[in-house]
Amino acid sequence: MSEPVPDLRADGHTDWRAYGPLELPPILDHALGAIVEQGYHATTVRELARRVGVTVPALYYHYSNKQAILVELLLGSLASVLGRCRTAVEEAGDDPVDRFCALVECIVLFMTYRAPLAFLDTESRSLESDNRVRYVSLRDELEGLLRNAVLEGVDSGEFTIPVPVEASRAVLTMCQGIAHWYRPDGPLTPSEIADHYVTIALATVGHRPKRGEGRRAGRTRTAAR
| Interval 61-111: pLDDT, tens | 999 999 999 999 999 999 999 999 999 999 999 999 999 999 999 999 999
The pLDDT score that the predictor gives to residue 218 is: 43
Confidence of residue 209 (pLDDT cuts 50, 70, 90): confident
Q: Would the CA dihedral through 42, 47, 52, 56 be positive or negative?
A: positive
What is the identity of the amino acid at 198?
V
Position 19 in a domain: no
What average pLDDT does the chain have? 92
The pLDDT score that the predictor gives to residue 188 is: 97
Confidence of residue 198 (pLDDT cuts 50, 70, 90): very high
Confidence of residue 210 (pLDDT cuts 50, 70, 90): low
Cβ atoms of 95 and 142 within 8 Å: the answer is: no
Between 83 and 216, the higher pLDDT residue: 83
Position 134 in a domain: yes
Q: Is the pLDDT of residue 219 over 50?
A: no
Among 44-58, 145-159, 203-217, which is the least confidently predicted range? 203-217
| C-alpha span between 105 and 89 (Å, rounded) | 11
What total of structural domains would you count in the chain?
Answer: 1
Position 18 in a domain: no
The pLDDT score that the predictor gives to residue 208 is: 81
Cβ atoms of 198 and 104 within 8 Å: the answer is: yes
55 phi-psi bin (left φ>0, alpha ψ -120 to 50, beta other): beta
Instruction: Kindly state the percentage of the chain with pLDDT values over 90.
Output: 90
| C-alpha span between 145 and 8 (Å, rounded) | 20
| C-alpha span between 56 and 27 (Å, rounded) | 11
Q: Is the pLDDT of residue 223 over 90?
A: no
Closest CA to 199 of 188, 211, 207: 207
CB-based contacts of 70: which residues, under 8 Å, 6+ apart?
A: 31, 35, 40, 123, 126, 127, 131
Position 208 in a domain: yes
Position 49 in a domain: no
The pLDDT score that the predictor gives to residue 115 is: 96
Q: Is the pLDDT of residue 225 over 60?
A: no
Range of 126's domain? Answer: 67-224
CATH of the domain at 75: 1.10.357.10
Average of pLDDT values for 37-51? 95
| C-alpha span between 220 and 187 (Å, rounded) | 23
Q: Is the pLDDT of residue 54 over 60?
A: yes
Confidence of residue 211 (pLDDT cuts 50, 70, 90): low
Position 52 in a domain: no
Closest CA to 106 of 124, 90, 121: 90
The SS3 of residue 95 is: coil
Position 20 in a domain: no
